Structure 1
Amino acid sequence: MTISDELDRTRQALLALENSLAALRNRLGDHLDVLRLLDDLERCSADLRRLEAQVRTPRRPELVAIPDDDYEPDFWADAEHEGLGRTAP
């Protein structure tokens, strides 16, 4: 199964949950727990939309250039040599 298939199945499940919660709200009214579930559903739907957008346009990791120049001697002033401990100045 492809990622698109999984995203479609997830979207369908959220739509089914939305329909079920709408039916509960019609029967129970603005019950606190139903309202909380509707809020959770909205967050899940927003997360799914973001995930779908990321899958459609994957980001490339940002490359960081590391210069080959030597570090300034002060950079190592308070460093410890591995295995020897702190070296005297």
Structure 2
Amino acid sequence: MTISDELDRTRSALQALEKSLVALRNRVGPHLDVLRLLDDVDRCSTDLKRLEQQVRAPHHPGRHDLVVIPDDDRDHGLWGAGDVDHEGVGAPGRRAP
């Protein structure tokens, strides 16, 4: 079975579940648990649509944005100032209140 077939089966199952829950809501009224289940089915349907868009979209390998990390030496001025806090210790020369 292909991914497309699985997505179609999942969509059909969600639609059948929603139909059953609507019928149940019509019989028992707006019971909180039924409303929660309907909300969950709606959220699952939204997630499934998003998944379908991702799976069925054409794949473009190598199209990730690359971050260039320079090979230069780091700027020691950023790290050597006397007012820099030492992680977990605090700044030198200062006392805790």
Q: Same fold (TM over 0.5)?
A: yes
Residue 30 (structure 2) pairs with residue 30 (structure 1): yes
* 1:1-89 mapped onto 2 (5 Å cutoff): 1-57=1-57, 58=59, 60=61, 62-66=64-68, 69-72=71-74, 74=76
Question: Structure 1: which 5+ residue stretches go unaligned?
Answer: 79-89
In the aligned structure 2, how far is the partner of 1:59 from the partner of 1:43? Answer: 28
In the aligned structure 2, how far is the partner of 1:59 from the partner of 1:39? Answer: 35
Moved over 4 A (4+): 58-61
Identity %: 62
Of stretches 21-30 and 55-64 in structure 1, the one that deviates more from structure 2 is: 55-64
Q: RCO greater where, 1 or 2, for CA within 8 Å and sep 6 or more?
A: 1
Amino acid across the alignment from 1:41: V
TM-score w.r.t. structure 2 length?
A: 0.66
More strand by share: 1
Q: 1:62 to 1:19 in 2, by over 3 A?
A: same
Question: Structure 2: which 5+ residue stretches go unaligned?
Answer: 81-97
TM-score w.r.t. structure 1 length?
A: 0.71
Structure 1 residue matching 2:66: 3-state secondary structure? coil
